[in-house]
A and B are shown apart, each in its own frame.
Chain A
Amino acid sequence: MSGAGLRIRSMVRKEFRQLLRDPRTRMMIFVAPLIQLVMFGYAVNTDIRNTATVVVDLDRTAESRALVDAFGASGYFEIVQRSLRSSDIARALDRGDAVVGIEIPHGFSRDLALGKAAVQIVVDGSNSSIATVAQGYAARIVQRFAAERVPHWAAGVDLRTRAWYNPNLESRVYNVPAVIGVLVLMMSLLLTALAVVRERELGTLDQLMVSPLSPAEFVAAKTLPVAFIGLVDLFLITAVAVFWFDIPMRGSLLALLPAALLYILAGLSFGLLISSVSKTQQEAFMAMFLFLLPAIILSGFFYPIRSMPLPFQWLTVLNPVRHFLEIVRAVFLKGEGIGGLWVQYLAIGLFALVAIRAAIWRLPRTIGGS
């Protein structure tokens, strides 16, 4: 092995020793991703279950009661109040006792037999995501109910929506793979930036620079362990997603791996860039969040990009998180291969390239000292 190789090896060994010795860093690397994964898998759930519902049945027939039962049995709605006055719906929604109100009008069973029955559904729109989902579910329940009772109903306009790739529209299936994108970026950014800045804070950077270790060797030795940890995290999260949360992995890990490598490279380089403008670890932390938060918000992780104002939509094109999330979701849920994702690959690759160039340009000024 050449002198450079040997020096990098001893430096890498030292890095691992430090990373794994510090209990806080160990937590950050192995436990934090799992905690976040569990959070996104269980807590952050935009599905609706047992939504508080108030029912006003003005028809009071066997059919109307069967419809109410159908709502109750679906599991999506929990009937918390029954009433005979329409005004009770408004009162229950106002007071927050219920989120959904269902009013079955007088003559419902008669109209049903004629094939033109109508049911009014009121939802509390102050939480728009629940409202939209609840509305959709309610419409489906009514439609199925009608189709079962009235054979010729189906002969009319039959509207059937089907969600592909995620037939039950479970938010978990959509969210958990995306966690990979956020966590891997956070790890590679943070560990790189902190690893470099810590040496500066301690004064060991000065000491390294008077040793035969060159700046390039220093950078290589700082980034290799982080890249490795990024990959370990990727496998760890993927394994938990597939085996614990039953997220379907329809594509191949091989379609994901090159994207992950490019993505980690982009994160590392950006971390180096952050380290070159930060004197202390706190500064590095702040700088990281300055980048990370907008990157996540503009990634389509929580909010669909299509519903953003146009200038922000353009901005997302520069965002590596957006492209990586598209790759992850496509590989997991659609079973897409590299061929169908070349645009995203190209975008991440370009970002990585620019970040590396910038880091190489910035770093010697800050670590070389001359």
Chain B
Amino acid sequence: MNPFAVEVSNLGRRFGPVVAVENLNFSVERGELFGIVGPDGAGKTTTLRMLAGVLRPTAGDARVCGASVVRDPEEVKRRIGYVSQRFGLYQDLTVRENLDFYADLYRVPRELRVSRMERLYRFSGLGEFQDRLAGNLSGGMKQKLGLCCALIHEPEVLFLDEPTFGVDPISRRDLWILVHEMVARGVTVVVSTAYLDEAERCDRIAVLDRGALLAVDSPARLQASLGGKIWSVRADDLPRAQAVLRSLPGVRRVTRFGDALHLTLTDPQRDQRRVIDALGREGIALLGAEEVEPSLEDVFMEMTQNRP
């Protein structure tokens, strides 16, 4: 059996003269929780839509569950589940009618339907609302119903396009619990997100920025790739401090991080002294400094800010 649920090779898509994504190459193993991480406009949705067989690539190909999205998108659609950013529910149908409708579309046999619905109701907590109109559910519940509708045919691979976009923190947490449960049941999940705390929950992530793939690895290894600790420095004039430190020998990277600068130093012992001296010479007051573990955000900032 093919160990990969998704294999992407040289995948690209243009809209007229605009390149949405280009030269994507990565694979997702069966049973993996895989994240596609990037800021708005990075090409996450375009990528997911191509993988789901609804958007034709203009370059390359991808195999999803062994089927090519270019040659056999219909087979791809049958084997996957897809939840778009704003999952469309029929507001004027009840929870049960929505589920029934998708079960019909995917031709879920009658005898399997009852047990599956029971399980989805239990799993999502929607059981007590089954006769309520979808339009009358709360935002988080709607999202869960969308997820259940995409799961009723038990897809091998589930694509989630920013599932927690605009969802309250509690529902967000619940949704991730559901995602982990699905992975535990053996479903391969590919999820796109702009939130790095969510990216950290993934087994591996693909970092996407302005249509280009910057890295594919586990969050831990990406963090390790920055090499050692980060020195977080707070000063009273951050923009000027950043300019000064950028040209200082021994400082490999300077990244603005909220009210602090995150520095990667060649030799922490020696270079911390240098930084303090340099700021003192420029008359910039040092408000505080500490060593921190590099976060995924550091990785991300590093990759996207230092790109040409």
Cα of A290 to Cα of B258 in the assembled complex, Å = 54
CB of A369 within 8 A of chain B? yes
CB of A202 within 8 A of chain B? yes
Nearest Cβ in chain A — how far from B15, in angstroms? 11
Nearest Cβ in chain B — how far from A155, in angstroms? 75
Whether the Cβ atoms of B54 and A11 lie closer than 8 Å is: no
Whether the Cβ atoms of B82 and A203 lie closer than 8 Å is: no
**By the criterion of a CB under 8 Å from any partner CB, how many residues of chain B are at the interface?**
28
Cα of A10 to Cα of B102 in the assembled complex, Å = 9
A369 proximity list for chain B (CB < 8 A): 49, 54-55
CB of B90 within 8 A of chain A? yes
Whether the Cβ atoms of A3 and B54 lie closer than 8 Å is: no
CB of B56 within 8 A of chain A? yes
CB of B91 within 8 A of chain A? yes
Cα of A255 to Cα of B149 in the assembled complex, Å = 47
Nearest Cβ in chain A — how far from B83, in angstroms? 8
Cα of A267 to Cα of B82 in the assembled complex, Å = 34
Whether the Cβ atoms of B54 and A210 lie closer than 8 Å is: yes
Return the contact of B105 from the options A203, A205, A213 (Cβ within 8 A).
Answer: A213
Q: Mark B67-107, 1 if CB is under 8 A from A, else 0.
A: 00000001001101010101111111100010001101111
Q: Mark A4-48, 1 if CB is under 8 A from B, else 0.
A: 001101110110011001100000000000000000000000000
Whether the Cβ atoms of A204 and B55 lie closer than 8 Å is: no
Within 8 A of B (CB), among A295-330: none
Return the contact of A203 from the options B52, B77, B86, B92 (Cβ within 8 A).
Answer: B86
Nearest Cβ in chain B — how far from A173, in angstroms? 41
Whether the Cβ atoms of A211 and B106 lie closer than 8 Å is: yes
- Of all chain A residues, which has the CB nearest B79? A212
Whether the Cβ atoms of A14 and B78 lie closer than 8 Å is: no
Whether the Cβ atoms of B77 and A204 lie closer than 8 Å is: no
CB of A370 within 8 A of chain B? yes
B163 proximity list for chain A (CB < 8 A): none
Within 8 A of B (CB), among A212-230: 212-214
Return the contact of A212 from the options B74, B89, B101 (Cβ within 8 A).
Answer: B74
Whether the Cβ atoms of B105 and A204 lie closer than 8 Å is: no
Whether the Cβ atoms of B102 and A6 lie closer than 8 Å is: no
- Of all chain B residues, which has the CB nearest A9? B104
| A10 and B104 in contact, given A18-B90, A203-B86, A204-B90 (Cβ under 8 angstroms) | yes
Nearest Cβ in chain B — how far from A274, in angstroms? 21
Whether the Cβ atoms of A3 and B90 lie closer than 8 Å is: no
Cα of A139 to Cα of B97 in the assembled complex, Å = 68
Nearest Cβ in chain A — how far from B222, in angstroms? 30
Cα of A211 to Cα of B73 in the assembled complex, Å = 11
Cα of A83 to Cα of B86 in the assembled complex, Å = 78
Q: Mark A184-225, 1 if CB is under 8 A from B, else 0.
A: 000000000000000100111111111111100000000000
Whether the Cβ atoms of B93 and A18 lie closer than 8 Å is: yes
Whether the Cβ atoms of B102 and A211 lie closer than 8 Å is: yes
CB of B43 within 8 A of chain A? no
Return the contact of A14 from the options B49, B54, B80, B90 (Cβ within 8 A).
Answer: B90
Nearest Cβ in chain B — how far from A260, in angstroms? 29
B101 proximity list for chain A (CB < 8 A): 10, 14
Whether the Cβ atoms of A10 and B53 lie closer than 8 Å is: no
Cα of A206 to Cα of B54 in the assembled complex, Å = 9
Whether the Cβ atoms of A370 and B56 lie closer than 8 Å is: yes
| A3 and B107 in contact, given A14-B101, A17-B97, A206-B84 (Cβ under 8 angstroms) | yes
Whether the Cβ atoms of A210 and B92 lie closer than 8 Å is: no
- Of all chain B residues, which has the CB nearest A11? B105
Interface centre among B55, B82, B88, B89 (most CB of A within 10 A): B88
Cα of A208 to Cα of B49 in the assembled complex, Å = 13
Whether the Cβ atoms of B105 and A17 lie closer than 8 Å is: no
Return the contact of B92 from the options A3, A9, A18, A199 (Cβ within 8 A).
Answer: A18
Nearest Cβ in chain B — how far from A20, in angstroms? 10
| A209 and B91 in contact, given A7-B105, A11-B105, A369-B49 (Cβ under 8 angstroms) | no
Cα of A22 to Cα of B49 in the assembled complex, Å = 32
Nearest Cβ in chain A — how far from B67, in angstroms? 13
Cα of A9 to Cα of B283 in the assembled complex, Å = 76
Nearest Cβ in chain A — how far from B131, in angstroms? 13
8 tightest A-B CB contacts, nearest first:
A204-B88, A10-B104, A203-B88, A210-B82, A370-B56, A207-B88, A203-B86, A202-B88
Query: Which residues does B use to contact A, with CB under 8 Å?
Result: 49, 52-56, 74, 77-78, 80, 82, 84, 86-93, 97, 101-102, 104-107, 149
**18 residue pairs A–B, Cβ–Cβ below 8 Å:** A6-B104, A11-B105, A14-B93, A14-B101, A17-B93, A202-B88, A205-B88, A206-B88, A207-B88, A210-B82, A211-B77, A211-B105, A211-B106, A212-B77, A214-B74, A369-B55, A370-B54, A370-B55
Other CB < 8 Å A-B pairs besides A10-B101, A212-B78, 15 of them?
A: A6-B104, A14-B93, A17-B93, A18-B93, A22-B92, A199-B88, A206-B54, A210-B53, A210-B54, A210-B84, A212-B74, A212-B77, A214-B74, A369-B49, A370-B54
